[in-house]
């Protein structure tokens, strides 16, 4: 068998590069694992069984009398995610056109649009949430603004990619017929992109429901508020109910949203 | 249709059928109504936001200038955050390999096992990171170990879903070829699956690492270590200039990590 196959080509340069990458990764791993090993408090593994016994049975025994309270907070989370996503979906349309190569003639202007979207995507939600809570005060409104401003970066990028992939012949045909810019927008571009726009907005809504659960940590509303309170009061039965509620609600929303998205595209 | 749509003195036709138009209008109306309802339920008031604008600027100004002297104190928690993210990503990458093989119908022909793993992973993905962190902190106590566990579980669901979907879309003929020459399951996976999914696998791993760096910010707020801890304390002391300094350090770190990770991902795929 070995005699039949030609020997593998040896590329010295590539091999050296691979070794360097391997060494760098190795150094990062040693650094990270050693750091974690030194920082970790290993004594928490003592009397672990006792802690488990105290918490786990209560976690799986939800306190049903709190259903109404938990439900209110979950609904608030959904409202935050919905309002935020819609703001983002609308805000992302002009930015999507701005960042699409075939819509903007000047490349510098186009790159600027792309950069704004990249910058927005790097912002972690919690940072913006902190800024909004400090400036406009705690409450779900800060959460709505946070979701709206963090979601539009990703949506804008996806929208730009969709717009770049449309059939430009339709646009040219309408231009040749003497259609103005608004007519081209409504009759040539929107019919091609709207289903995908909606589909991505729905997808982002699924993400935002999960994202808006953490807003409560800094006082920006949603179920996070209740999670923090329940954990602080060691109210594990309530935490169990929250866990169950989130799993059920998020599963249902994911299911419906996937169904709608499949029909859209 | 032409008679209905033709208005007097005009020959303008609508491009869309009437039924589609009413359908879209109704959906649009519902979306907008629900929007305003959720705005009122969340107490969102854009008018007062604009009226209060000077006040908001004043509050924002209270965060400036950032307290630059605080930055050295923020470096160590930041390092801790990155170390947590590296370790958690490693664990979840290792666990996700068997999990995603079990959740891919090209490898797992047993319908029962396939459905069970799928459902389990789907449920895992619905649990938000903050809830996982809270539960693990309550189980183990405060420290970075519950943080690492929470992130591992959190990214496992996502990673296993991405990887199993990739495995399902690979070229199955190669697997059949290896099977027909008498290859066992390990050989099928090693010579048939791994070469086809490895680039995407590395790319997903890097992506999840980015996500973990962001998510580990959340951990500190519930006592699971990382840079969130000092943000939480400084916020409670109302030391907004210190908070701003931490946020700037964090943002710079996130941008650097994402740039490197993007560069690597573009080379791999």
pLDDT in tens, A93-142: 999 888 888 887 788 888 888 888 888 887 888 888 888 888 888 888 88
- B163 and B260 fall within a common domain: yes
- B30 and B80 fall within a common domain: no
pTM strictly above 0.90: no
- B80 and B44 fall within a common domain: no
Query: A1: distance to nearest CA of chain B, Å?
Result: 15
Query: Which of A216-220, B12-16, B76-80 is the least confident region?
Result: B12-16
Q: Tell me whether residues B44 and A83 touch, CB distance under 8 A.
A: yes
CA-wise closest residue to A135 among B48, B259, B39: B48
Q: Tell me whether residues B222 and A231 touch, CB distance under 8 A.
A: yes
DSSP conformation class of B13: P
CA of residue A256 relative to chain centroid, distance: 18
| B14 found inside a domain | yes
Instruction: Please tell me the predicted confidence (pLDDT) of residue B13.
Output: 64
CATH number of the domain where residue B178 is located:
1.10.3720.10
Are A215 and A143 a contacting pair, CB within 8 Å? yes
- B98 and B176 fall within a common domain: yes
In this prediction, residue B259 has a pLDDT band, given cuts at 50, 70 and 90, of confident
Instruction: Please tell me the predicted confidence (pLDDT) of residue B3.
Output: 47
| B98 found inside a domain | yes
Final residue of a domain: which of B34, B57, B80?
A: B57
Task: Please tell me if residue B120 touches chain A, with a CB cutoff of 8 Å.
Answer: no
| B255 found inside a domain | yes
- State the Cα–Cα distance between residues B218 and B147, nearest whole angstrom: 10
- B51 and B75 fall within a common domain: no
For residue B62, pLDDT beyond 70: yes
More confident residue, B5 or A4: A4
Tell me the chain B residues in contact with residue A134 when contact means C-beta distances shorter than 8 Å. 59-60, 62-63, 240, 243
- B167 and B91 fall within a common domain: yes
Task: Please tell me if residue B230 touches chain A, with a CB cutoff of 8 Å.
Answer: no
Among chain A residues, the shortest Cα distance to B32 is held by A86
Among chain B residues, the shortest Cα distance to A224 is held by B130
Tell me the pLDDT tens digit for each residue of B106-147. Answer: 777 788 888 888 888 888 888 888 888 888 888 888 888 888
Domains and CATH numbers, chain A: 63-264 (1.10.3720.10)
| B197 found inside a domain | yes
Query: A141: distance to nearest CA of chain B, Å?
Result: 5
- B247 and B216 fall within a common domain: yes
Tell me the pLDDT tens digit for each residue of B156-215. Answer: 888 888 888 888 888 888 888 888 888 888 888 888 888 888 888 888 888 888 888 888
- State the Cα–Cα distance between residues B103 and B85, nearest whole angstrom: 25
More confident residue, A3 or A168: A168
| B62 found inside a domain | no
- B81 and B46 fall within a common domain: no
Q: Find the mean pLDDT for residues A150-155.
A: 88
Q: Tell me whether residues A124 and B214 touch, CB distance under 8 A.
A: yes
Tell me the pLDDT tens digit for each residue of A173-212. Answer: 888 888 888 888 888 888 888 888 888 888 899 888 988 8
Helix count (H) and strand count (E) of chain A? 11, 0
Structure tokens at B35: 């929007």
SS3 call for A248: helix
| B91 found inside a domain | yes
- State the Cα–Cα distance between residues A212 and A192, nearest whole angstrom: 31
- B202 and B140 fall within a common domain: yes
CA-wise closest residue to A248 among A74, A84, A58, A59: A74
Task: Please tell me if residue A108 touches chain B, with a CB cutoff of 8 Å.
Answer: no
- State the Cα–Cα distance between residues B211 and A205, nearest whole angstrom: 18
Q: Which residues neighbour B47 within 8 Å (Cβ) at sequence distance 6 or greater?
A: none
Other residues' Cβ atoms within 10 Å of the Cβ of residue A27: 10
- B13 and B133 fall within a common domain: no
Looking at the structure of chain B, the number of domains it has is 2
| Domain hosting residue B50, numbered range | 2-57
- B82 and B135 fall within a common domain: yes
- B23 and B150 fall within a common domain: no
Q: Find the mean pLDDT for residues B55-66.
A: 77
Tell me the pLDDT tens digit for each residue of A40-72. Answer: 777 777 777 777 777 777 778 777 887 888 888
Q: Tell me whether residues A135 and B59 touch, CB distance under 8 A.
A: yes
| B260 found inside a domain | yes
| B65 found inside a domain | no
Tell me the chain B residues in contact with residue A221 when contact means C-beta distances shorter than 8 Å. 42
A35 vs B62, B79, B137: nearest CB: B79
């Amino acid at each position: 068998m070995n005699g039949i196959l030609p020997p593998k080509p040896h590329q010295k340069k590539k091999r050296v590069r691979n070794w360097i990458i391997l060494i760098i990764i190795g150094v990062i791993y040693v650094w990270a694992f050693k750091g974690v090993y030194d920082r970790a408090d290993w004594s928490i593994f003592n009397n672990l069984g006792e802690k488990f016994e105290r918490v786990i049975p209560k976690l799986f025994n939800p306190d049903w009398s709190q259903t109404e309270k938990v439900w209110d907070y979950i609904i608030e989370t959904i409202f935050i995610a919905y309002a935020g996503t819609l703001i983002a979906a609308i805000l992302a349309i002009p930015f999507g056109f701005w960042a699409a190569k075939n819509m903007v003639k000047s490349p510098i202007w186009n790159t600027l649009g792309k950069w704004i979207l990249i910058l927005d995507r790097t912002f972690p939600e919690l940072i913006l949430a902190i800024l909004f809570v400090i400036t406009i005060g705690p409450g779900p409104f800060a959460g709505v603004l946070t979701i709206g401003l963090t979601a539009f970066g990703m949506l804008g990028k996806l929208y730009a990619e969709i717009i770049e992939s449309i059939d430009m012949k339709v646009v040219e045909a309408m231009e040749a017929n003497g259609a103005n810019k608004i007519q081209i927008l409504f009759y040539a571009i929107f019919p091609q992109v709207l289903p995908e726009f909606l589909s991505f907005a729905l997808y982002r809504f699924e993400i935002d429901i999960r994202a808006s659960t953490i807003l409560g940590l800094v006082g920006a509303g949603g179920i996070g508020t209740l999670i923090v309170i329940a954990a602080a009061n060691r109210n594990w039965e309530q935490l169990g109910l929250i866990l169950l509620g989130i799993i059920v609600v998020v599963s249902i929303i994911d299911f419906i949203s996937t169904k709608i998205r499949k029909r859209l595209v | 249709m032409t008679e209905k749509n033709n208005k007097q003195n005009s020959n303008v036709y609508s491009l869309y059928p009437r039924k589609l138009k009413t359908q879209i209008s109704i959906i649009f109306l519902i979306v907008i109504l629900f929007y305003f309802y959720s705005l009122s339920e969340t107490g969102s008031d854009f008018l007062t936001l604009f009226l209060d604008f000077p006040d908001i600027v004043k509050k924002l100004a209270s965060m400036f200038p950032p307290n630059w002297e605080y930055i050295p104190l923020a470096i160590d928690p930041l390092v801790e955050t990155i170390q947590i993210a590296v370790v958690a990503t490693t664990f979840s990458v290792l666990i996700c390999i068997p999990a995603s093989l079990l959740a891919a119908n090209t490898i797992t022909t047993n319908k029962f096992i396939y459905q069970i793993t799928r459902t389990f992973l789907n449920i895992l993905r619905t649990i938000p990171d903050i809830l996982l962190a809270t539960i693990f902190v309550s189980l183990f106590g405060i420290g970075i170990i519950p943080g690492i566990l929470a992130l591992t579980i959190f990214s496992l669901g996502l990673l296993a879903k991405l990887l199993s979907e990739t495995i399902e879309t690979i070229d199955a003929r190669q697997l059949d070829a290896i099977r027909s020459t008498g290859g066992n399951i390990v050989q099928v996976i090693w010579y048939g699956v791994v070469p086809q999914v490895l680039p995407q696998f590395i790319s997903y791993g890097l992506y999840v690492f980015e996500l973990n760096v962001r998510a580990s910010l959340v951990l500190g707020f519930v006592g699971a270590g990382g840079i969130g801890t000092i943000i939480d304390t400084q916020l409670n002391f109302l030391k907004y200039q210190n908070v701003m300094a931490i946020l700037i350090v964090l943002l710079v770190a996130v941008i650097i990590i994402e740039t490197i990770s993007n560069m690597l991902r573009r080379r791999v795929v």
